[in-house]
Amino acid sequence: MKPVPFSYERPRDLNSALSMLAASRGSAKIIAGGQSLGPMLNLRLVQPELVVDISGLAELKRAEIRGGELVLGALVTHADIEDGRTADVTRGAMPGVAANIAYRAVRNRGTIGGSLSHADPAADWISALAALGARVTLRSLAGVRSMAIEAFVVGALESALDAGEIVEAVHVPARATSAHWGYAKSCRKTGEFAHAIGALLVDPAAAAARVVIGAIDTAPIVVTDAAELFGGRIAADFKQRFDARAADALLVKAGIDDAAQRHIHVSVLKRAVFEAAA
């Protein structure tokens, strides 16, 4: 199919982009890498009057370490992160996730801000960055606000973005040297979206763990204090203490009544736990 007719603008600075969005009163769509919006337009799942191409905004391409955390502009691509063209504060966690998103052609164009805004439940960043404890900053003409990834992703293809708002940057906290990272996903074929994602950041020294079960039909399950999944205590033996039944209970609570589907999710999370412990 072909998209509906739309007008196209490519603003040169962030303020002009925000003005265009504000003036359009919700009838505009932002395009960044176009890897998700392109298909959505062609299937007429979105029918904007105006497409605002933000790919020329230098403000959104910056990547720098500020106050110990990494600030990635929304236009940083998966390939930038994979190839190490941007700094890394996660000791390889983010480049590892980036390298397994779709395939290279998609990674060359797809952006971190676009991926988060699209809020596909099966996408990688919404799960991985929630596990890493990252935050997003959103900007509109009215100003800036900031929120945790798990607050930003509201449901399937649903984010907390208001009309007129743009994802400006992602703020990723540095991963402690004592923190273990595990990320696993199951895809039916190469480049296919995952049907199960498990992510965790475990720091036995701080007795803390964040766990994410993603690629369920809605926003990922994010457990910011995951002691319940490890028998009530996070310690060096977290691999042995991993409680598959507690993970299963979370999925039941999320409304997944298909036992095989839950089993796949728990098994993928277990892979991530084993990777973190390795």
Select 32 or 213, whichever has its Cβ closest to ligand FAD.
32
The CB density around residue 106, as the number of other CB atoms within 10 Å, is 16
Select 75 or 268, whichever has its Cβ closest to other proteins.
268
Residue 85 is which amino acid? R
Query: Of ligand FAD, other proteins, none, which one sits near residue 2, judging by CB under 5 to 8 A according to partner kind?
Result: none
Select 80 or 124, whichever has its Cβ closest to ligand FAD.
124
Select 104 or 233, whichever has its Cβ closest to ligand FAD.
104
For ligand FAD, the binding residues in 168-207 under the rule CB under 6 A are 191, 193
Of 6, 2, 12, 60, nearest to 32 by C-alpha is 60
Q: Exposed, middle or buried, 275 (CB in 10 Å: 0-12/13-18/19+)?
A: middle
Is residue 38 near other proteins by the rule CB under 8 A?
no
Is residue 167 near ligand FAD by the rule CB under 6 A?
yes
What is the token pair recorded at 34?
A: 């176009």
For other proteins, the binding residues in 99-158 under the rule CB under 8 A are none
Relative orientation angle of helices 244-253 and 259-277, to the nearest 10 degrees: 130
Is residue 106 near ligand FAD by the rule CB under 6 A?
yes
Select 140 or 267, whichever has its Cβ closest to other proteins.
267
Query: Of ligand FAD, other proteins, none, which one sits near residue 278, judging by CB under 5 to 8 A according to partner kind?
Result: none
For other proteins, the binding residues in 179-198 under the rule CB under 8 A are 186, 188-192, 195-196
What residues contact 118, with CB distance under 8 A and at least 6 apart?
A: 36, 37, 157
Long-range Cβ contact pairs of 43-49 (< 8 A, separation 24 or more): 43/1, 44/1, 44/3, 44/4, 47/3, 47/4, 47/6, 48/4, 48/6, 49/6, 49/7, 49/24
Q: Which H or E element spans position 272?
A: helix 259-277
Give me the residues paired with residue 20 across strands: none
Give me the residues paired with residue 166 across strands: 139
What residues contact 169, with CB distance under 8 A and at least 6 apart?
A: 60, 62, 71, 72, 73, 74, 113, 136, 137
Q: Minimum distance from CB of 275 to other proteins (Å)?
A: 14
Instruction: Draw the binding track, 245-274, toward ligand FAD (x: CB under 6 A; -: no contact).
Output: ------------------------------
Query: Of other proteins, ligand FAD, none, which one sits near residue 156, judging by CB under 5 to 8 A according to partner kind?
Result: none
| Options 18, 32, 179, 201; binder of ligand FAD; rule CB under 6 A | 32
**Interface ranges with other proteins (CB under 8 A):** 39, 43, 186, 188-192, 195-196, 258-261, 263-264, 267-268, 270-271
**Interface ranges with ligand FAD (CB under 6 A):** 29-37, 54, 74, 101-102, 106, 109-111, 113-115, 117-118, 123-125, 161, 166-167, 191, 193
